Structure 1
């Protein structure tokens, strides 16, 4: 185990590390998405929904978020659904809850579309390489709610099990599968929450899922946790059978864990707590080789998070991991070219 007070700027090669001591689990953070599409660098989806050029959140809709003391969309949309049911039961004719419901969902969609890599720019080879990289683990835990892992699982040659049955409903009792499990700890754009709290997977083509996810049906509240403090995120997680199951699985993880592109920052303290509860013997953590000072700072920061836990930490060069390969990056300039071709 590394000395807590002594940090050098050396980073291991991932392939050597994995060959010697394989990790059974992979925790994915936003850095994995940024390696593919730099526009995923936005700080807040809530801010994007306010500034998008197409139908942004209005002052009325923002007042709803403020009154519920949240910047997450799921509790606000769920609250509006309850209001609509109450109005119907009491024969109250107000259409305001319904109008606000769809206005918020539309602002959310436009905000995400402004930042998400378009499906048409994803090359088959890139999808295949991501799929191959994910399939090397028994379980993939992702806190990203974008569609990259979903696309890789759907279109790669390797088998994955997301614990959803053929009818698109979550089934925590699925057994017998030897495929890589992929669990979305914070939900995903392809998941929705039913009124009873159960989770369902949207069945849609790639060309339409990004543009219209969860907008057509009243029951389809997007199931992903994107903003706020760790405690606020846990409130949403506890309110979903799917999210609470995924969180518990991380807390029970067995074997070494690879942490790729995840800062384990203060807003994700619940993720760190789950890892501490699992207490893996070894954790391999990706670090970008920006500078010696940056590497030493990252080593010190992560070591402080796990101080006194008797967990062996190893740090590897993020660009040596298949998910950090610079060749995966989709040039943002390609989006401008695609838009110009569409106009012509």
Structure 2
């Protein structure tokens, strides 16, 4: 078969059905191109003195050797509690906490698609595409999937209780599971490592994502090295459980918009541990050379796994790759 002669998703899925889907940044970029930003940490630095990370904020990231926001905010929260127990002033750590949080809020709102720009039809299409799978895994922390699920939640598994809390002891559910491997803007981490899902929806889910009670911090793992991401995942009950579920996917697994580069080595390791029967991998048919390079990229990662067959398909033929899902963004955001 010529490199450009990729089968459609429908044809491939009929011959090699997939019960699970793993989404990456490419899936979000297909809807909103500004999601292609390189680093949220860098975005927060570019915002300037009033809305961006201050020099003292940057010193904290450097001292903790990370570009992840959650560990820095959690550390400051712990410092405030320890200072209170020792009757030490918490003014300095509180100032840094609110400064970093404000920079995070501004950075996210700069790159995230506004609720008002997302057509109902787009969310409905995403909702319908997701419910074709038993499990949907995503490494994206944007709100496209939570918004889509909220459009018609019937048929999706409820992993959080009525108060919004996750309990790893109660994970047996029916319906399509949507697991956020790197957290999301709709999730919060509590001081004890447990996870709460925010009760907001629609525009409020984005506008108020970092407005929460003291001690809770937004739970999402932004861009950084794989080892730093894995460290953050291990400190969260929900994230560690979700990654463990991916490592147990033994049936067909579809990869869409998921490049699995060095910063996501932990996801690659989980898939290799799972050894699914086959992988259906979306390829963007840009040109002959690009298709060959993309195929080789995945062969290098999975080609040595016995009894795991690799199958490639045209990404534009997948319901999540259809051109009509794309939302036009202002030129300055591309």
Q: Tell me if the contact between 2:195 and 2:237 (Cα under 8 Å) persists in the aligned partners.
A: yes
Q: CA deviation at 1:175?
A: 5.6
- For residue 33 of structure 1, the aligned residue among 28, 51, 57 is 28
Separation in 2 of the partners of 1:199 and 1:70?
22
Q: CA deviation at 1:94?
A: 3.7
Establish whether residue 74 from structure 1 lines up as the match of residue 62 from structure 2.
no
Q: How far apart, CA to CA, are the structure 2 residues paired with 1:118 and 1:33?
A: 13
RMSD: 1.7
Taking the aligned partners of 1:9 and 1:323, their CA distance within structure 2 comes to: 20
- 1:24 equivalent to 2:33? Answer no
Given the two structures, how large is their TM-score scaled by the length of structure 1? 0.93
Deviation at 1:194, TM superposition (A): 0.2
1:11 match: 6
Aligned-partner SS, 1:151:
helix
- Work out whether residues 127 and 156 of structure 1, in 8 Å CA contact, stay in contact via their aligned partners in 2: no
Unaligned runs of 5+ in 2: none
Which whole-Å CA distance do the structure 2 matches of 1:237 and 1:177 have between them? Answer: 22
Shift, 1:157, TM fit: 5.8
Please say if residues 283 and 314 of structure 1, whose CA atoms lie closer than 8 Å, have aligned partners that are also in contact. Answer: yes
Q: Is 2:283 aligned against 1:277?
A: no
Q: Residue 188 and residue 34 in structure 1: after superposition, are their counterparts in 2 closer, same or farther (change >3 A)?
A: same
Match of 1:221 among 217, 220, 230: 217
Match of 1:341 in 2: none
TM-score (norm 2): 0.95
**Residue number in structure 1 paired with 2:185:** 189
Matched, 1:317 2:277: no
Mapping 1:145-294, distance limit 5 Å: 145-156=141-152, 158-174=154-170, 177-294=173-290
CA distance in 2, matches of 1:32, 1:319: 11
What's 2:297 paired with? 301
Q: Secondary structure, in 3 states, of the residue corresponding to 1:258?
A: strand
**8 A Cα contact 1:121 1:335, kept in partner:** no
- Maintained 8 Å contact 2:253/2:278: yes
Q: 1:91 aligns with which of 87, 99, 102?
A: 87
Could you list the structure 1 runs, at least 4 aligned residues long, displaced by more than 6 angstroms after superposition: none
- Aligned residue for 1:192, secondary structure, equals strand
Equivalent residue for 2:39, pick from 36, 41, 44: 44
Is 2:329 the partner of 1:326? no
Aligned to 1:65: 61
Residue pair 1:161, 1:180 contacting (<8 A) in 2 also? yes
Provide the aligned length of Structure 1 versus Structure 2.
331
Seen in structure 2, the aligned counterparts of structure 1 residues 103 and 240 have a Cα distance that, compared at 3 Å, is same
Counterpart-to-counterpart distance in 2, 1:232 and 1:36: 28
Residue 340 of structure 1 aligns with which residue? none
* Aligned-partner SS, 2:66: coil
Deviations 1:33-76 (A, max 9, x none): 00100110100000111112551000000000000000000110
